[in-house]
Amino acid sequence: MTKIGIIGGTGPEGLGLAMRFAKASDKVTIGSRSAERAEEAARKVSETVPDAKVRGLMNAEAVEDAEVVFLTVPWDAHQGTLENLAEAIGDKILVDVVVPMLFDRGQPKAILVDEGSAAQQARALVPNAKVVSAFHHLDGTELQNVERPMQGDVMVCGDHKGAKKTVMELVEHVEYVRALDAGSLTNSRYLEEWTVLLLHLNRIHKAHTGVRITGI
């Protein structure tokens, strides 16, 4: 049982992760800038996972009680959210799931980040946090479909060995999903950018795609 706080947990990815972790008996706090929306999201989790240990709070409060903090805000909110919550996050494990991207004439497009990747920006903004980059390639809609086994792998990268191990264990709280060590935090850029390709595949093939590594 891990105490998980999800900053921006009302979006499809955060909500889906909340449901899967609740199903694995983790204690989940959904954070939002609006306590009302957070509570509404927590209700959705409870409806989907009847014995869920879940509640909805303001982002800072969701961070407070968590052992592991997830960040699932849109890219636009990445920097601002981390600046606001840096003190609350402190030296906790911070799992950055954010993908730097925009829509250019309706097409998803990766954005270059000065620090190299969203996760590296997070480390610059919250220098004491144990930043781990992971969970980019699990489709939000599929995650919310809790009765269906998830397919695919989750690549996990980061520079803090213990934190990476904890997050790899959390990955496998999502049934059937495999965690793969993907090296140092500088590799996050590749994980983040690949998500944009998956969004293109989703559109072209009208699908909810994920990724599986062959040969391991």
Residues that bind its own copies (CB under 8 A): 109-110, 112, 139, 142, 151-152, 155, 180-183, 186-187, 189-191, 193-194, 196-198, 200-201, 203-205, 207-216
The CA distances from residue 11 to 38, 80, 105, 182, 213, in Å, are 10, 17, 23, 26, 27
Taking the C-alpha atoms of residue 140 and residue 126, their distance in angstroms, rounded to an integer, is 26
Pairing type for strands 68-71 and 3-7 reads parallel
Name the residue nearer to its own copies (CB basis): 175 or 181.
181
Q: Least CB distance from residue 210 to its own copies, whole Å?
A: 4
Q: Least CB distance from residue 120 to its own copies, whole Å?
A: 14
Q: Least CB distance from residue 214 to its own copies, whole Å?
A: 4
Q: How many CA atoms lie within 13 A of 38 on its CB side?
A: 22
| Closest C-alpha among 119, 209, 201, 193 to residue 160 | 119
Q: Least CB distance from residue 1 to its own copies, whole Å?
A: 28
Name the residue nearer to its own copies (CB basis): 27 or 137.
137
Name the residue nearer to its own copies (CB basis): 127 or 149.
149
Q: Least CB distance from residue 138 to its own copies, whole Å?
A: 10
Name the residue nearer to its own copies (CB basis): 28 or 110.
110
Cβ atoms of 182 and 156 within 8 Å: the answer is: yes
| Closest C-alpha among 96, 37, 46 to residue 69 | 96
Name the residue nearer to its own copies (CB basis): 50 or 206.
206
